Chains A and B, each alone.
Chain A
Amino acid sequence: MGRNTISNDIHISERTEKIDGFENFVEHTPDGDAKLSLLISGVHCAGCIQKIESTLAKEDGIKGVRLNFSTKRLELSWEGDDSKANSFVKKIQNLGYGVNPYSPDKQQEQAQEQARFLLLCLGVAGFAMGNIMLLSVGLWSTSGETMGIATRSLMHWISAAIALPAIIFAGRPFFRSALKALKGGHTNMDVPISIALTLASGMSLYETINHGEHVYFDSAVMLMFFLLIGRYLDFRARGAAQSSATDLLSTLTGFAKVIEGEKTKNIPIRDVREGMIIRVAVGEKFPVDGCVSEGQSTVDTSIVTGETIPRDIQINDDVYAGTLNLSNPVTIKTVSATEDSLLADVVRLMEKATQGQAQYVRIADRAAKLYTPVVHSLALLAFLGWWFIGGIAFQEALMIAVTVLIITCPCALGLAVPVVQVLATGSLMKKNVLVKSGDALERLAEIDLALMDKTGTLTLGKPTLIGDYSSADLQKGASLAAQSAHPLSKALAQAYDKELISIKSVHEIAGSGVEGEIDGKLIRLGSRSWCGDETVPQSEHIELWLSHEGHDAVRFLFKDQLKEDSAKTIANLKSHGIKSIILSGDREEVVRQVAQECEIDEFHGGITPPEKYKIMEKMQSDGHKILMVGDGLNDAPTLVGADVSMAPGTAIDMAQNAADIVFMGDKYAPVYDTYNIANLTQKLVKQNFALAVMYNIIAIPLALAGLVTPLIAAIAMSGSSLLVIGNSFRLRMNS
Chain B
Amino acid sequence: MSVLIYLIPMALLLGFAGLAAFVWSLKSGQYDDLDGAAQRILFDDDENPPET
Q: Which residues of A line the B interface, CB within 8 A?
A: 45-46, 49-50, 53-54, 56-57, 62-71, 75, 77, 112, 115-116, 119-120, 123-124, 127, 130-131, 134-135, 148, 151, 154, 158, 162
Assess the B52–A70 pair: CB atoms within 8 A.
no
How distant is the Cα of A130 from the Cα of B18 in the complex, in angstroms?
11
How distant is the Cα of A56 from the Cα of B50 in the complex, in angstroms?
10
Assess the B51–A66 pair: CB atoms within 8 A.
yes
Contacts of A148 in B (CB 8 A): 1
Contacts of B26 in A (CB 8 A): 116, 119-120, 123
Q: Which of A49, A62, A67, A115 contacts B50 (CB 8 A)?
A: A62
Question: A120 — nearest CB in chain B belongs to which residue?
Answer: B26
Assess the B4–A131 pair: CB atoms within 8 A.
no
Contacts of B12 in A (CB 8 A): 131, 158, 162
Q: How far is the CB of B43 from chain A (nearest CB, A)?
A: 5
Question: B51 — nearest CB in chain A belongs to which residue?
Answer: A64
Contacts of B19 in A (CB 8 A): 123-124, 127
Assess the A127–B47 pair: CB atoms within 8 A.
no
Contacts of A77 in B (CB 8 A): 52
Contacts of B34 in A (CB 8 A): 70
Contacts of A123 in B (CB 8 A): 19, 22-23, 26
Mark B23-42 against chain A: 1 for CB-CB distance below 8 A, else 0: 10010000111111001101
Among B18, B34, B39, B43, find the residue whose CB has the most chain A CB atoms closer than 10 A.
B39
Q: How far is the CB of A190 from chain B (nearest CB, A)?
A: 23
Contacts of B31 in A (CB 8 A): 115-116, 119
How distant is the Cα of A70 from the Cα of B38 in the complex, in angstroms?
11
Contacts of B50 in A (CB 8 A): 57, 62-65
Q: How far is the CB of A202 from chain B (nearest CB, A)?
A: 23
How distant is the Cα of A49 from the Cα of B36 in the complex, in angstroms?
8
How distant is the Cα of A135 from the Cα of B18 in the complex, in angstroms?
18
Q: How far is the CB of B31 from chain A (nearest CB, A)?
A: 6
Contacts of B11 in A (CB 8 A): 131, 134
Q: Which residues of B line the A interface, CB within 8 A?
A: 1, 4, 8, 11-12, 15-16, 18-19, 22-23, 26, 31-36, 39-40, 42-43, 47, 49-52
How distant is the Cα of A53 from the Cα of B36 in the complex, in angstroms?
13
Count A-B contacts at CB 8 Å. 76
Q: How far is the CB of B32 from chain A (nearest CB, A)?
A: 7
Question: A68 — nearest CB in chain B belongs to which residue?
Answer: B33
Contacts of B52 in A (CB 8 A): 64-66, 75, 77
- 30 of the cross-chain contacts (CB-CB < 8 Å) are A46-B42, A49-B36, A49-B39, A53-B49, A54-B49, A57-B49, A57-B50, A63-B50, A64-B52, A65-B49, A66-B51, A68-B36, A69-B36, A70-B35, A70-B36, A75-B52, A77-B52, A112-B32, A119-B31, A120-B26, A123-B26, A124-B19, A127-B15, A127-B16, A127-B18, A127-B19, A131-B12, A148-B1, A151-B4, A154-B4
A-B contacts besides A127-B15, A134-B11, 17 pairs, CB < 8 Å:
A46-B40, A46-B42, A46-B43, A49-B39, A49-B43, A53-B49, A56-B49, A66-B51, A66-B52, A68-B32, A70-B32, A75-B52, A116-B26, A116-B32, A120-B23, A127-B16, A127-B18
Q: How far is the CB of B14 from chain A (nearest CB, A)?
A: 9
How distant is the Cα of A154 from the Cα of B35 in the complex, in angstroms?
45
Contacts of B51 in A (CB 8 A): 64, 66
How distant is the Cα of A64 from the Cα of B51 in the complex, in angstroms?
5
Question: A166 — nearest CB in chain B belongs to which residue?
Answer: B19
Q: How far is the CB of A666 from chain B (nearest CB, A)?
A: 24
How distant is the Cα of A158 from the Cα of B12 in the complex, in angstroms?
10
Question: B52 — nearest CB in chain A belongs to which residue?
Answer: A64
Q: How far is the CB of A287 from chain B (nearest CB, A)?
A: 31
Question: A154 — nearest CB in chain B belongs to which residue?
Answer: B4
How distant is the Cα of A70 from the Cα of B37 in the complex, in angstroms?
10
Contacts of B4 in A (CB 8 A): 151, 154
Contact A71 B33, CB 8 Å, known A119-B26, A120-B23: yes
Question: A48 — nearest CB in chain B belongs to which residue?
Answer: B39
Assess the B43–A69 pair: CB atoms within 8 A.
no
Contacts of B35 in A (CB 8 A): 69-70
Q: Which of B8, B33, B43 contacts A70 (CB 8 A)?
A: B33
Contacts of B39 in A (CB 8 A): 45-46, 49, 69
Contacts of A154 in B (CB 8 A): 4
Q: How far is the CB of B9 from chain A (nearest CB, A)?
A: 9
